Amino acid sequence: MRIPILFMLLVSTTFMSAQTTRIIPLRFIPTYDRNHTLTEGIHLQDSSFYSNDKDSIEIRTLKFYISGIQLYMDSAIVRKETNSYHLIDASNEQTLSVPLTIPIVTDFNRLLFNVGIDSTTNVMGVQGGDLDPMRGMYWTWQSGYINFKMEGNSPLCKTRDHGFEFHIGGYHYPYNTFQCVSLPAYKAKEGINIYILLKELLSTLDLARTNQIMTPGKEALWISKVIKKCFTTFLDIR
């Protein structure tokens, strides 16, 4: 009789745990601007966007790291991820949703996360999972991880095939491109939509003059601060 009793206790504990927690997905939706189809986001290589009358932009690659996700109720932290790094890849739909398991009674009204990999993790060298160098987001032990990568084409670029490449990273002072984003968020059943407005970035850049940044430095730091402002929840929580 001992085995059935233990089994029933296990089932009961599992059921109670399921009843006290819930999963809220954070859905990262890369889009072009506020007028674009927000529910679908962009489709790489399938769409052209216009930053002005003379510029037609195609985006071929869009990847970035999200880390250190936190939920707040006013100034009080109610949920915090530790040692957790998520590679968001616009070409892989499965990466666009990050599930958060939280107590079912938890209330929150603000979301914090980092764009990029912190300096402590960078100095630890090559790692696995989403931090695996095979994912194409790692330079060298000295330069560390690429926090944000965007590649595409624009007729304004006087380069081969009119291509542009922005690989934004660097963790050494004074050019640390690791950025913290704070956004309003509310208790949701189906998840929190986080939009990335790429026009905010592309309209800031002069692609005719600046179309390639591949190393840490002053320009990478400047762009990382622009990238930070591209994230928004629109208060569009369902």
> Residue 20 and residue 101: Cα distance in Å, rounded?
10
Q: What does the domain layout of the chain look like in residue ranges? A: 25-232
Give the E-state strand segments of the chain in sequence order. Answer: 21-31, 49-52, 55-73, 76-80, 85-89, 97-103, 110-115, 146-153, 163-169, 179-184, 192-197, 212-213, 231-232
Instruction: Tell me what the mean pLDDT of segment 147-163 comes to.
Output: 91
Q: For residues 3 and 24, give the distance between their C-alpha atoms in angstroms, rounded to a whole number.
A: 35
Q: Tell me the pLDDT tens digit for each residue of 4-56.
A: 655 555 555 554 445 688 888 999 999 887 665 555 567 776 666 766 556 67
Pairing of strands 97-103, 76-80: unpaired
Return the bridge partners of 56, or none: 50
Q: What is the model's pLDDT at position 35?
A: 66
pLDDT in tens, 108-143: 999 999 999 999 999 987 789 999 999 999 998 889
Cis peptide before 174 (omega within 30 of 0): yes
With cut-offs at 50, 70 and 90, classify the pLDDT of residue 237. Answer: very low
Q: Which of 56, 9, 49 is nearest to 30 (CA)?
A: 49
Q: Is the pTM of this model over 0.75?
A: yes
